[in-house]
Structure 1
Amino acid sequence: MTAFDDLMAFQHETEALSQVSMRLGWDQETMMPRGAAHQRAEEMAALESVLHRRRTDPRLGDWLGAIDDDLLDETGRAQMRHIRRSYTRATRLPETLSAEIARVTSRAQGIWAEARAADDVAHFLPTLREVVRLKREEAAALAMGGDLYDALLDDYEPGATAGALAAMFDRMRPRLVGLRERIMGSGRAPAPLSGHFPEAGQMALSREVATHFGYDWRHGRLDFSVHPFTSGSGTDVRITTRVDETEPLGSLYSTLHETGHGAYEQGIDPAYGLTPLGAGVSMGVHESQSRIFENQLGRSRAFCSWLFGRMAEVFGTAGAAEADAFYAAVNRVHSGHIRTESDEVHYNLHIMLRFDLERDLIAGRLEVEDLEEAWNTRFEADFGVAVDRPRNGLLQDVHWSVGLFGYFPTYTLGNVYAGCLYQALRAAVPTLDADLARGHAEPATTWLRSEVQRSGGLYEPAETIRRACGFAPTEAPLLDYLDAKFGEIYGL
């Protein structure tokens, strides 16, 4: 066998073990007995030690040094790019640190869930302090004297920098705030949906919508979790949602969001399975799929007209008197506390808040004990309402408990990518609105699978979007889409 063959055989086993680790995480959030948290933390730490030893195995360095990339095809060169990057990052981290992060974040997830349920920030802060300490240590090891936050961000969006993202956010904020102010001054205030929407009906409709958007149930499943998420890749991709019987949109659109993630993983070329190319190339590109499923497609006037009818059939009421009122309710702009339930106008402001806070946390400009006050002060300044309880503020997201520092800005980057893709999609599928009005999303999801999902990690993130759209990613299509959509709804 050649060095490349040996390398890929070794990597195949590493990828398989990584999938096992993800499955343990999925089980912990969906089915694991509450009393098993301590043992699960030890299991996760042990498995992370095994994975770290594989990712830093000296043979990797020998194989990488022996392979001439110029003799490989495009796929082989892409595999090498990912493996080299992983090897470089892994060799900068001590095994003990990797295992301790896995142990602490596994335990922290359960503590966060308890604190959230009890609205008890004090119960969570000691554990969060430990997580932040470990992530600062990880960032310092990875950065090698460079920017600490950039070192963490690179794990989710290779090539991105906090400086470039901050500049983009600065360009976006004035138009977002201006649009919100015009909406709030429009004199229009669509009513939210009202009624009782039983769990069984919500889950049945969520499954139906996921099916229309291409989720493959032979290789996937839908479960409950405190915070909706997607896990796995290849032939085993799992999504979760949550249900409130007084508010059906949260469940429906959480499911549709996660369907976008799941469909991405299921749509990758099977030839890339259990290799570095066999997963989404970045969280920004991943979020482009979940956000375009949820928003540009799922919250469109065309799809809402279909959904209005199905809601009435399933529940005996759609929660609104007619289709236009339903569409306005689905897209109602209001200064709510919860990021995952926020409208498209406010959503990116939620992300900018978290981005600034976590940058300051990692840099040491903000300490954990001051985080709740900083959150509440910033939220009231940005949204005009006070945080009423911790689960609607600092405790609402799972991300920091599991150490995902650097993840949040990829949500807005995903929105930007989705704006570009939607512009290209409308040109490529001229029947889009007519299709969605029948609940028929297949032409749109087929285009996304072909142009984005199938390539997996073959190209760099921005290049993946450029190839699909025909132009370099920019925030302009997203902002133009928001102005047009909400200008029409609110008569601006």
Structure 2
Amino acid sequence: MSSYEDLMAFQRDTEALAQVAGRLGWDQETMMPRGAAEQRGEEMGALESVLHARRTDPRLGEWLETVTPGDEVAVAQLREIRRSYERNVKVPARLASEIARVTSVAQGIWAEARANEDVAAFLPTLAEVLRLRREEAAALADGGDPYDALLQDYEPETSGALIAALFDRMRPRLVALREAVLGSDRQPAALTGHYPEAAQIRLSREIARNFGYDFSRGRLDLAVHPFSSGSGNDVRITTRVNEKDPFNCFYSTIHEVGHACYELGVDPDFLLTPLGRGASMGVHESQSRIYENQLGRSRAYTGWLFGRMQQVFDMAPGDAEAFYATVNRVQQGFIRTESDEVQYNLHVMLRFDLERALIAGTLEVADLEEAWNSRFLADFGVAVEKPSDGVLQDVHWSVGLFGYFPTYTLGNVYAGCLHHALREAVPDLDAALAEGRSAPATEWLRENVQRHGARLAPREVIATACGFEPDEEPLLTYLEAKFGELYGI
């Protein structure tokens, strides 16, 4: 074989082992018995040791020096392998293994602390996770900004300063829109009633199929915090159920289907290669957010959903227009994943500032709950009354995902751009959505975004799909138009 073929054969085995590690993580969140947590941590640490050794194998450096790429796909493959190699050689094997072990165990400790509203039970574990991530960030930064070093795992070619500038541009218009909406005389009614779990799951499976999820290559399960896991031909999703709030289940499902369809939609030629995954978490979130919001919360699609819910549940009488307003109701609330489109990004901005301070060392874990609660009161005007509504609500920090949160808003920004381009490309989209069919939209997204995998850089993916460089204006214009109409402002 040629050197390039040798390299790609080696890389294929590494990618396959990484999928095994991901499957262990999925099992831990869905089916693993609670008593297995410590052992699973050891298993994850051992597997990470194997993966780290492969990702830093000296042969990779030799191949990268000698291989001559034959086409643009090979150029992209080498770019991704080189990025991984250069990052991983900076991280000691001991540290990589310890991070995997500790964050695996930390998930269960967080979940139990959240269920018991017991911040104190979780803080020592969080302090250990933060210590390890700070050590990793310092190694990766090589004298630069530690938070920027961690960001590269989720959104290559960006920085905390660029994200902060974006958030500073967005915040005034989002706050102004929220104040106008909450001050409007036109306030939609909340959904009431009882929606049994089994029926919610059945309808969630139907909704997932509507959005193109392939159950022959995936499955739907329950988890404390919904997520999508896997790539290639095994991509699994989870949701959660509240029998008083079916929207939590349905829109969590649609969100995770967006992630899953991205992975399932990647060109099969990229299977088990560095290109066989999403370009970044920002681009990934663009798929989950456009599925969930611009498509799933549209007037056309909610009209179909209203009809199906009338058939499946014993719902009070109403009409599709009032239901559309209820689905998009803006209200004071604590939970990011349940937030309306107007306030969602304000939740992300809070977390971005806090985690940036944690990595910088200007905020310590012992002071985190107070910092969260004070900032939430300042930003949202309501006091956090219990930890599950505050610092314990998200799983991300427990598993060490510092640098992940800003990609949610980057995803919203990218989704705003994609939605603008999609509406121009598919002008009769609402007719399909009104029948519960998302195919015209999801096929456009598959062709213009998903099939590329990681072949293109993140912003290049969006610019290529849209025909213009991504920025926040399409998202903000969409939000102001949609909620201006809904609330008569």
TM-score band, normalised by the shorter chain? over 0.9
2:190 aligned residue: 192
Superposition deviation, residue 81 in structure 1: 0.3
Amino acid of the structure 1 residue aligned with 2:348: I
1:401-480 counterparts in 2 under 5 A?
A: 401-480=398-477
Superposition deviation, residue 185 in structure 1: 1.4
Superposition deviation, residue 186 in structure 1: 1.1
The answer (yes or no) to whether the contact 1:194–1:320 under 8 Å persists in 2 is no
Amino acid of the structure 1 residue aligned with 2:407: T
Amino acid of the structure 2 residue aligned with 1:429: V
The answer to whether residue 376 in structure 2 is matched with residue 360 in structure 1 is no
Superposition deviation, residue 459 in structure 1: 0.3
Distance 1:191 1:126 in 2: 42
The answer to whether residue 105 in structure 2 is matched with residue 142 in structure 1 is no
Amino acid of the structure 1 residue aligned with 2:314: G
The answer to whether residue 101 in structure 2 is matched with residue 103 in structure 1 is yes
- Give structure 1 regions of 4+ aligned residues with deviation exceeding 4 angstroms: none
The Cα RMSD (Å) is: 0.6
The answer to whether residue 479 in structure 2 is matched with residue 482 in structure 1 is yes
2:374 aligned residue: 377
SS at match of 1:231: strand
Amino acid of the structure 2 residue aligned with 1:452: V
Distance 1:21 1:283 in 2: 19
1:165 aligned residue: 163
The answer to whether residue 38 in structure 2 is matched with residue 38 in structure 1 is yes
1:285 aligned residue: 283
Superposition deviation, residue 160 in structure 1: 0.9
Distance 1:17 1:320 in 2: 52
Superposition deviation, residue 420 in structure 1: 0.1
Distance 1:489 1:73 in 2: 50
The answer (yes or no) to whether the contact 2:330–2:342 under 8 Å persists in 1 is yes
Distance 1:80 1:323 in 2: 51
Distance 2:332 2:468 in 1: 34
1:55 aligned residue: 55
Distance 2:174 2:162 in 1: 18
2:200 aligned residue: 202
The answer (yes or no) to whether the contact 1:320–1:326 under 8 Å persists in 2 is no
SS at match of 1:169: helix
SS at match of 1:157: coil
The answer to whether residue 62 in structure 2 is matched with residue 65 in structure 1 is no
Distance 2:130 2:11 in 1: 30
Amino acid of the structure 2 residue aligned with 1:5: E
SS at match of 2:219: strand
Cα distance, 1:320–1:336 mapped onto 2, change above 3 Å: farther
Distance 2:448 2:324 in 1: 29
Deviations 1:360-387 (A, max 9, x none): 0000000000000000000011111111
Distance 2:294 2:319 in 1: 21
SS at match of 1:400: helix
SS at match of 1:480: helix
1:10 aligned residue: 10
Distance 2:190 2:56 in 1: 53
Amino acid of the structure 2 residue aligned with 1:84: R
Amino acid of the structure 2 residue aligned with 1:94: P
Deviations 1:289-332 (A, max 9, x none): 00000000000011011100000000021x56211111111000
Distance 1:97 1:188 in 2: 55
Amino acid of the structure 1 residue aligned with 2:328: N
Superposition deviation, residue 335 in structure 1: 1.7
Amino acid of the structure 1 residue aligned with 2:374: T
2:29 aligned residue: 29
The answer (yes or no) to whether the contact 1:193–1:320 under 8 Å persists in 2 is no
The answer (yes or no) to whether the contact 2:262–2:446 under 8 Å persists in 1 is yes
Amino acid of the structure 1 residue aligned with 2:404: Y
Deviations 1:49-95 (A, max 9, x none): 000000000000111111134xx201000000000000000000000
SS at match of 2:131: helix
Cα distance, 1:320–1:453 mapped onto 2, change above 3 Å: farther
TM-score (norm 2): 0.99
The answer to whether residue 369 in structure 2 is matched with residue 339 in structure 1 is no
SS at match of 1:238: strand
SS at match of 2:397: coil
Distance 1:321 1:245 in 2: 20
Superposition deviation, residue 222 in structure 1: 0.2
Superposition deviation, residue 411 in structure 1: 0.1
1:156 aligned residue: 154
The answer (yes or no) to whether the contact 1:234–1:268 under 8 Å persists in 2 is yes
Distance 1:392 1:346 in 2: 15
Distance 1:333 1:380 in 2: 17
Amino acid of the structure 1 residue aligned with 2:144: G
The answer (yes or no) to whether the contact 2:4–2:68 under 8 Å persists in 1 is no
Distance 1:335 1:130 in 2: 33
1:212 aligned residue: 210
1:225 aligned residue: 223
Deviations 1:452-483 (A, max 9, x none): 00000110000000000000000000000000
Deviations 1:162-182 (A, max 9, x none): 100100000000000000111
Distance 2:182 2:257 in 1: 32
Percent of aligned positions that are identical: 70
TM-score (norm 1): 0.99
Deviations 1:186-209 (A, max 9, x none): 112211100000011100111111
Q: 1:78 aligns with which of 76, 82, 88?
A: 76
1:247 aligned residue: 245
Amino acid of the structure 1 residue aligned with 2:51: L
2:311 aligned residue: 313
Amino acid of the structure 2 residue aligned with 1:228: P
The answer (yes or no) to whether the contact 1:75–1:458 under 8 Å persists in 2 is yes
Distance 2:323 2:317 in 1: 5
Distance 1:57 1:458 in 2: 23
Amino acid of the structure 1 residue aligned with 2:59: R
Deviations 1:317-352 (A, max 9, x none): 1x5621111111100001210000000000000000
Uncovered stretches (5+) of structure 2, i.e. residues with no partner = none
Distance 1:200 1:131 in 2: 37
